[in-house]
Chain A
């Protein structure tokens, strides 16, 4: 007996008679809702994480009052991580007989690892997105630096003993912090010019930020490796540590969405269980007849399992598609509240609803099929016979 062929034919006949409608609907609704929620939660989570990483301009940052060991940087490189360095300190700038206490930020070529810089060519021009900081010999400044020191774009600004040409006005830097260096008007220069300024001397108050980015597992491994090596003046920062207010918002959002997912999965489970139970109850008589006609217990078990499997595959795929469109619609409706660019979902999030619906269906249907295949044809026959 070709059980798969027979299962397909019986399934087709059930579909035609409308017998599958309720079960298929329960599956589609369950998979649609769980897919939509898992995709929405996952994309939101990834978007918030990547936004949070932008606030650090990296995935992980080691702050230090001194330059860190080269071995750490080599280790990060071995783990496939990208790295960048910024050094922040305050210094007084003097131009055109004007003095200004400025927050200097010397950045390496790879900065920023996450997020983008924004500058203007002139005070009134449009913002331009920059992939990296100023080149050697150039300097970008806050608008306040220009006004206070009576400078304009193209003028020379001397930082310590190094003269640099002002090329851009900084309008946005992703990792701008609320500390004293960031509150002072910003001057951003290339790391390669730092030595020549001669500003940093032994005992100077400077903060180094060693930034790392890369694949999540590698970041986790590097984090675990470097943590025991930190001195008292060094600190490791990630999204949770660096921005506690953001970290707790993130945790709350994750908890809320996680709870919603669990609820949806529970409701989906109950709906699938009830409709598959109804389906198998309505097939009890047919099963008894099949057994009278000489169908073996294992054949019946396989025929019903094949039917549930094929039905699950079709209904869950439709649910997956609907779920995808639903979460796209949700993002569209909430677009004014969310960042312009939303992260793509992970493969696991895409398949979660499908797998949940499918696993619940097969789990419940296996138990029901076992009950069906063991149905006593004689008990049924005896009930319907004349005695």
Chain B
């Protein structure tokens, strides 16, 4: 099997149950999912269906109560929090619905941050180049407060792609944007994804957006249907 089509994410019998006042509440159950390297996949479902929980588990931000997750061959469920942080640092990029930029840092500093965490000495030039690529070369020193929603999401895209991650997790990346700006962001997301051959895992309930991915996984009441 060539490396291009080899699985980069694999889950087996993945489940997440939380304890509530009435007893155990199953949020995810028996999720078997394989995502190949370079593939783009949309996880779609209604609000509360468990898609963001699945994304959090796949990214190593949360621990499952059942089953296993493998990321690039590394079993996430066998790792402690620091081990999962290491994997995130090496393999993963994030784009959040509410951008999640550091409010006190400039656009450039926000994009430099993941590189600085890796000790990359070329952080500034790499981040500048990517911000220019997303059309924000003239906004390098602006803090998020001084940027529009669309510009903030462009910065978030640049921050996510700056480390050239093997996997990009995007949670409703256009959820806080108007439709026109949202379209521009999606264009940019797919362009960067193509350029860097990143595996894209996208959570959305926008079917049009989902249709741009190579594959869609529908989730309902915590189960893949």
- Residues of A that sit less than 8 Å from B by CB: 1-2, 6, 9, 13-14, 17, 19, 285-286, 289-299, 377-378, 381-382, 384-387
Contacts and interface: CB of A to CB of B under 8 A. Distances in A.
- Interface bin, chain B: 35 or more
A6 B116 CA distance: 7
Given A289-B100, A297-B85, A378-B62, 11 more contacts: A1-B118, A19-B104, A289-B102, A294-B92, A295-B89, A384-B98, A386-B47, A386-B97, A387-B49, A387-B51, A387-B52
B52 A386 contact: yes
Contacts of B33: none
Given A290-B117, A386-B203, A296 B85 contact: yes
B47 A293 contact: no
A291 B85 contact: yes
B16 to A, nearest CB: 11
Contacts of B89: 293-295
A281 B69 CA distance: 33
A36 B143 CA distance: 40
B15 to A, nearest CB: 16
Interface string B11-49: 000000000000000000000000000000000000111
A372 to B, nearest CB: 14
Given A2-B119, A292-B88, A378-B61, A286 B82 contact: no
B114 A293 contact: yes
26 contacts: A6-B117, A13-B105, A13-B109, A17-B143, A290-B117, A293-B88, A293-B94, A294-B87, A294-B114, A296-B82, A296-B85, A296-B86, A377-B61, A378-B61, A381-B96, A382-B53, A382-B62, A384-B97, A384-B98, A386-B51, A386-B97, A386-B175, A386-B203, A387-B49, A387-B50, A387-B53
B90 interface: yes
Contacts of B50: 387
Contacts of B81: 296-297
Contacts of A13: 104-105, 109
B90 to A, nearest CB: 7
Contacts of A381: 56, 61, 96
Given A17-B104, A292-B61, A297 B47 contact: no
A95 to B, nearest CB: 90
Nearest to B159: A293
Nearest to A377: B61
B172 interface: yes
Interface centre among A285, A299, A387 (most CB of B within 10 A): A387
The A contact surface, by secondary structure, is helix
Given A1-B119, A386-B47, A386-B203, A294 B85 contact: yes
B86 A294 contact: yes
B113 A293 contact: yes
A294 B88 contact: yes
A292 B101 CA distance: 12
Interface in B72-92: 81-82, 85-90, 92
B118 to A, nearest CB: 7
B213 to A, nearest CB: 17
Nearest to A18: B104
Contacts of A295: 85, 89, 117
A300 B114 CA distance: 14
A385 B56 contact: yes
B171 interface: yes
Interface centre among A285, A381, A385 (most CB of B within 10 A): A385
A292 B52 contact: no
B116 A9 contact: yes
Contacts of A385: 52, 55-56, 96-97, 171-172, 203
Nearest to B100: A289
Contacts of A6: 116-117
Nearest to A2: B119
Contact of A384 (B96, B104, B114): B96
A297 B61 contact: no
Nearest to B99: A384
A2 B115 CA distance: 12
The 4 closest A-B pairs by CB, nearest first: A294-B89, A294-B88, A385-B52, A17-B104
A157 B180 CA distance: 116
A6 B81 CA distance: 21
B147 to A, nearest CB: 15
A58 B205 CA distance: 91
A290 B89 CA distance: 10
Contact of A386 (B62, B103, B172): B172
Nearest to B55: A385
Contacts of B175: 386
Nearest to B27: A387
A286 B85 contact: no
Contacts of B49: 387
A297 B80 CA distance: 11
A9 B135 CA distance: 26
B104 A292 contact: no
Contacts of B104: 13-14, 17, 19, 286
